[in-house]
Amino acid sequence: MARVLVTEKLAERGLEVMAEAGHQVDVQLDLTPEGLLQAIVGAQALVIRSATDVTDAVLAAGTELVVVGRAGIGLDNVDTEAATRRGVMVVNAPESNILSAAEHAMGLMLALARNIPQAHAALVAGRWERSKWEGVELHGKTLGVVGLGRIGALVAQRALAFGMRLCAYDPYVSPERARTMGVELLPLDELVVEADFLTIHLPRTAETKGLIGRDLLAKVRPGLRIVNAARGGILDEEALADAIASGQVAGAALDVFATEPCTDSPLFGLPGVVVTPHLGASTAEAQDKAGVTIGEQVVLALAGDFVPFAVNVAAAEVSETVRPYLGLAEQLGRSLACLNDGMPDRLEVEYQGGLAGANTAILTLAVLKGLFAAGTEEPVSYVNAPQLAAERGLEIREVSASTARDFVNLVTVRSDHHALAGTLAGTRAEPRFVMVDDHTVEVPPAEHMLVVRNDDRPGMIGVVGAALGAAGVSISSMAVGPARTGNTALMVLSTDRTIADETVAVLQQSDGILDVHRIGI
């Protein structure tokens, strides 16, 4: 019997699942951070939702912890890296709210199309305003779906039943899969010109933050209506308010905001806007599914059985040789996705040096985890990464070589068009990228990075530096590597912020610049 500490309200059936397995379920709600540090002592499992912060200090205090369970999808409040380092499994309930979220997106779309909240507010205030709140039909309109993960696919399926034409932007979905869904894939800048309605279903990452901003909104089809029930920050709310005020965008329906709770926004005073306080998962069914799912996952973890929704691996299950490279492998996968501008058709992972003699299967899973996490709405784990690869037709090949020419260990990832290699350097085993697209460089991975390929001639560093300086961007580190053959060179820079689209465009149009890629980790 294990002690399971539950710090937030959980569906009763979820508590019963753990109790029926013979475990002591200790429910302690509304704990302070100090109270949590005391309560976690002696617990083998911790079950939370979104309000409990599971920090490294909490994990250190819970010396007997086997598993942390998050009854929901997001893991922003769990230090998963620290849990992995301490050998604690982290599990979530990634499928618990997808149907509720998809239905809420459809509800927002209908409310937006027919001005339902505005008409309701007017009527209960004593005003009969039939002509003022004339709406539009969904039938025959083009729906642009930004992100065709599970929720995006469910929304597309439901929109099809309304007679809508479906287009989508998702560089991680193959044309074959899109065709089976009745969806036409388009680049994002073409999608916003085609769409009458746009619905967002992406994760919030360094790559997607501010994705739909002022420049893109200036290009949309006049009268576009936008729905965001995914994550705040993907859509620039100030730019959206300006676009609605100018008439470029007809209206918007938002369930999520860049900062939450959000009780004040330039969007709130606009008549064409519908807002809800992050209700996508707020259904009785979703909460019940989350509770039951997390209860089942915790029971499996405590029994030492296979856990389908594990998002990390217990460090004890990974060899001492391999364990330090898990973070690097994930960074390489995410960065390759950024260089590739989406999902490659083929992925080769090569291990050189001492790693070649170890069991590196978990490192390949880490590469896949990073690759998919860069652009899919679905939570990606070591467990479901192979399934995602199979669904998208990704061909994976592993190569090993017992010798590495310049490094003790080297991990290299390649697609058909791009390549990255990394290692751990120094006594602190700090990650380094040492090759990008067959150019030798040495630069630490960073949250915001820029890769520039250019003609190998004097003055090119100045061109890049001037463009970034003009945009107010500081360069934190930089590496330059010439090509082994040919007359090109590569710059890899880390910066203090994401490079804006307009700055990238300036660089792309500069003489001698061959291509530019942003990388976010």
User: Which of these is catalytic: 49, 104, 165, 278?
Assistant: 278
Residues 43 and 302: beta-carbon distance below 8 Å: no
Rounded Cα distance between 301 and 197, Å, is 43
Clarify whether 231 is annotated catalytic. yes
Give, as one character, the DSSP assignment of residue 212.
B
Residues 71 and 52: beta-carbon distance below 8 Å: no
Residues 233 and 212: beta-carbon distance below 8 Å: no
Rounded Cα distance between 49 and 499, Å, is 34
Q: Is 383 helix (H, G, I), strand (E, B) or coil?
A: coil
What lies within 8 Å, CB to CB, of 351 at 6+ separation is: 358, 360, 363, 398, 399, 400, 401, 409, 410, 411
Burial class (CB in 10 A: 0-12, 13-18, 19+), 210: buried
Evaluate the CA torsion angle 40, 45, 50, 53 in order and state its sign. positive
Closest CA to 331 of 480, 174, 494, 87: 494
Clarify whether 139 is annotated catalytic. no
User: Which of these is catalytic: 12, 134, 238, 260?
Assistant: 260
Rounded Cα distance between 239 and 92, Å, is 34
Q: Are strands 448-455 and 488-495 parallel, antiparallel or unpaired?
A: antiparallel
Rounded Cα distance between 199 and 192, Å, is 11
In order, the DSSP letters of 91-150 are EE-TTSSHHHHHHHHHHHHHHHHHTHHHHHHHHHTT---TTTT----STTPEEEEE--SH
Provide the 10 A C-beta neighbour count for residue 340.
Answer: 19
Clarify whether 260 is annotated catalytic. yes
User: Which of these is catalytic: 23, 231, 439, 453?
Assistant: 231
Q: Angle 434-85-233 (CA atoms, 0-180°, nearest 5)?
A: 70
Rounded Cα distance between 166 and 178, Å, is 10
Rounded Cα distance between 368 and 336, Å, is 10
Residues that are catalytic: 231, 260, 278
